[in-house]
Chain A
Amino acid sequence: MALTVILEFLGGAEFLFGHVKHHTVSIEKGENKLNISQLLMWIKENLLQERLELFMQGCTVRPGILVLVNDVDWSLLGELTYEIEENDRITFISTLHGG
């Protein structure tokens, strides 16, 4: 079974993804559920084009990147453990010094 997810990379994070802000992707997950932790691994292997260290640190996103699920702060949703649903929109907003 495949899951359709809308991924958004903003605030500079798009530069790591070929300068593309919006991606609609289909992720094969079998019968299992997919949480954000697994999604990050999928992004790392399938979508990220450069400088992994600017996007991830260990198993999670680099501190300072704001993550929203359907415009809700992932901190309120269990962060890495949130189970993704069909057509969820997940937004990653990078923050840079200076702005």
Chain B
Amino acid sequence: MPLLCSICKDKRALLKRPKTGTPVCKDCFYWAFECEIHHTIQTANLFKRGEKVAIGASGGKDSTVLAYVLKTLNERYDYGLNLFLLSIDEGITGYRDDSLETVKRNQQQYDLPLKVLSYQDLYGWSMDAIVKQIGRKNNCTFCGVFRRQALDRGAMSLGVDKIATGHNADDVAETIIMNILRGDIARLQRCTAIITGDDPSGIPRVKPFKYTYEKEIVAYAYFKKLDYFSTECIYAPNAYRGHARAYLKDLEAIRSSTIIDIIHSGEMMSVKEGVKMPVQTKCKKCGYISSNEFCKACVLLEGLNKGLPRLGVGKTSKVNQQLKQVNDSKSCECQNKSTKCCLNNVPKTAPSSCPNRSKNCENHDAKFDSPSVKDNQMDKTTKICLTNSEIL
């Protein structure tokens, strides 16, 4: 005896809604799914009539469903929005190539204009080239930082009013957990906002799927036969998020309302007075919003361009330390002042020729002991310390 839909009480139920546990038929599911997103958009005032909205499109399930649903709702409820797809090409052969093909098909299927911007165009570096420099550890840091800015830079150049992203309820809950575990109070405060970056200079980002469960997005895409691309990035997956995700899924198996409960907790949490928070300011170099004098992307780029790719990976305090080291090395204070151990005096010979190599020379930086610094890069490395004052 098939279970009937709890809404229409007529057709056979196909899906158990994760939020409520109620069984629904296909049509009632579509209706409820779309209605709830419409409701989120309306109650949070995500859009205003006439706005130009860029949908961050990766070709994956979330952004594909977002593009489809926004297009549908825009027509059904006459939002009066000018929608288009904005894709970022990180330059990852075999991963982004295929997903961009999907976005191009979406452009046809949903009749939405598409704009593709590449890391190469925006930063002068593709992810493939960055991985060659930095290896497969920390490469996700570069990709994540660059992607975040890429959408904004792209949107700015296109005169966009808002950027809509496919972040779903599961993503938001994961991010809250990650920020709690990392003690990142500033991000913990910001990550639950349904509209972020709402300052006069930045382009607001909106999350119409903030309360939409991943399971329903996947089911919607499946039942509607939406064309999306699914593969893990060929470079290391985000391990930390992976743990948070597995943890949440396990909790959800025991308590179905876990996701929405965590989002609720995140929204209601407030930081007590007197807690020092980083002040959001603007990057002195590119003008992008930043918690430091220079934004992370500019620090990372500077490192890449100066042949010091690990600059900016890790904590800000460590970055400052790294910079200080480079700066200090200008005036070598090691015991043997006449030797060639100090950075700005390094000859174009192999580092092993440095007589102070075995001694405890503070300025005999690990960079020189690292096998990754090839002889032919010595020249570049030497320049770092000569130009270190302009690094940042």
Contact = CB atoms under 8 A, between A and B. Distances in A.
Nearest to B16: A75
A99 B228 contact: yes
A95 B23 contact: no
Contacts of B241: 97
A10 interface: yes
A11 B225 CA distance: 12
Interface string A1-35: 00000000011100100000000000000000000
A80 interface: no
A72 B63 CA distance: 24
B15 A73 contact: yes
A3 to B, nearest CB: 21
Given A12-B232, A97-B238, A99-B63, A63 B250 contact: yes
Interface residues of A, number: 22
Given A63-B250, A99-B166, A73 B219 contact: yes
B245 A64 contact: yes
B23 A63 contact: no
Contacts of B152: none
* Chain B: number of interface residues, binned into ranges: 35 or more
Contacts of B249: 62-64
Given A75-B16, A76-B16, A76-B23, A99 B230 contact: yes
Contacts of A96: 60-61, 230-232
A86 interface: no
Contact of A95 (B214, B252, B253): B214
Contact of B231 (A12, A76, A93): A12
A12 B166 CA distance: 18
B64 interface: yes
Interface string B229-242: 01111000010011
B14 A98 contact: no
Given A12-B230, A94-B230, A66 B218 contact: yes
B222 interface: yes
A45 interface: no
A97 B174 contact: yes
A94 to B, nearest CB: 7
A95 B232 contact: no
A66 B14 CA distance: 12
A10 B222 contact: yes
A76 B12 CA distance: 11
A72 B231 CA distance: 24
Contacts of B64: 99
Contacts of A68: 222
B16 A99 contact: no
Contacts of B238: 97
Contacts of B250: 63
Contacts of A62: 249
A90 B343 CA distance: 64
Contacts of A66: 215, 218-219, 222
22 contacts: A12-B231, A63-B252, A66-B215, A66-B218, A68-B222, A72-B13, A72-B14, A73-B14, A73-B219, A76-B15, A76-B16, A93-B222, A95-B61, A95-B218, A96-B61, A96-B232, A97-B174, A97-B242, A99-B58, A99-B63, A99-B228, A99-B230
Interface of A: 10-12, 15, 62-64, 66, 68, 71-73, 75-76, 91, 93-99
Given A99-B62, A99-B166, 9 more contacts: A10-B222, A63-B250, A66-B222, A73-B14, A73-B219, A76-B13, A95-B215, A96-B231, A98-B62
